[in-house]
Amino acid sequence: LCNHLLYITTMADDSNTAQSGKRRKLDESTTTTTITEEQSPLSSLLPPPQIRTIITQYLQDDIPSHFDVGGHVVGNTIQKAELWMKSPGVLAGIPFFNATFDVCGSCQITWEDIAMEGQSYPNASGDNKIKLATVTGPVSHLLRGERTALNTLSRCSGVATLSNECVQIAKSNQWKGLVAGTRKTTPGFRLVEKYGLLVGGAATHRLDLSQMVMLKDNHVWACGGSIERAVKKARVVSGFSQKIEVECQSLAEAMIAAEAGADVVMLDNFEPEQLKKDAKVFKEKFPHVTVEASGGITMETMPDYFSEDVDVISQGKLTQGYDCVDFSLKIVH
């Protein structure tokens, strides 16, 4: 990252860009987006080919399969559209917003200095809209990308907002563990929601079935009911490079899993006091094994589960029950 700037660009000639403060003014004939690393510090996690493929799929879902009559009505004159935040929340999803207009082509985006991923804007509202960016390009391109760009931004920001609220609760209670999401994500939207977790300060948990082995109750039952057999069979093929987690319904099951070589035990659907008691007993024997608490935990009940013996608290609601943050993209007229 040269001079702490991250470039997401196609058909751009760097020699034709000139710096102005913290922003860059870009040639309107190119499809170029420039944003500082400070404004989007996690964007380098997203490989450009992968994000472009995902955004292309989103656009194909929304773009007319034959004629775009609305696009014909507005034409291809160069116009500007302003991005406004209209409800409180944490901003997240800038790379997806940028990639949408990159795929649409011939657009440029200039982000305001105040636009920072991970930043909370508690005072944003319909009466107190906050301008975050200006998109310039053929007006038909702006309108084709509008809804996809707003959908990804609003949902990613929603996940980040809820995640950040939970992380702040953990910090205020001096709990040192990790707040995490789960694999309960929207089909086709997982990367956006997992990115939102990170921006909000939470852990993603595993990204997919291959990232970490998780042996749930169904796995154990399907292979004869033996936790030990399931763990050892998984270890043979996963080797040293993958962790193995086992979902446990009791302290006894957690002990068996750890003795068989599990790296993580999930104490699932425990009552808070029982969980803290059992986690303490477990950690006394297996201090190196990670303890995750999960199952029906919400932002409101999460403090009941805080314990020095619990390393991770995961919540499916972080990617299943979030409220979207309200944004609009309006043509300047």
Spell out the SS3 assignment of the chain: CHHHEEEEEECCCHHHCEEECCEEECCCCCEEEEEECCCCCCHHHCCHHHHHHHHHHHHHHHCCCCCCHHHHHHCCCEEEEEEEECCCEECCCHHHHHHHHHHHCCCEEEECCCCCCCCEECCCCCCCCEEEEEEEEEHHHHHHHHHHHHHHHHHHHHHHHHHHHHHHHHHHCCCCCEEECCCCCCCCCHHHHHHHHHHCCCECCCCCCCCCEEECHHHHHHCCCCHHHHHHHHHHHHCCCCCEEEEECCHHHHHHHHHHCCCEEEEECCCHHHHHHHHHHHHHHCCCCEEEEECCCCCCCHHHHCCCCCCEEECCHHHHCCCCCCEEEEECC
User: Taking CA 147 as the corner, what is the angle to CA 143 and CA 153, rounded to the nearest 5 degrees?
Assistant: 125
The verdict on whether 277 is a catalytic residue reads no
Residues in contact with 86: Cβ distance below 8 Å, sequence separation at least 6, in sequence order: 124, 125, 126, 129, 326, 327, 328
User: Which of the following is catalytic: 80, 86, 184, 280?
Assistant: 184
Neighbours of 243 (CB within 10 A): 14
Give me the amino acid identity at 190.
Answer: R
Active site residues: 184
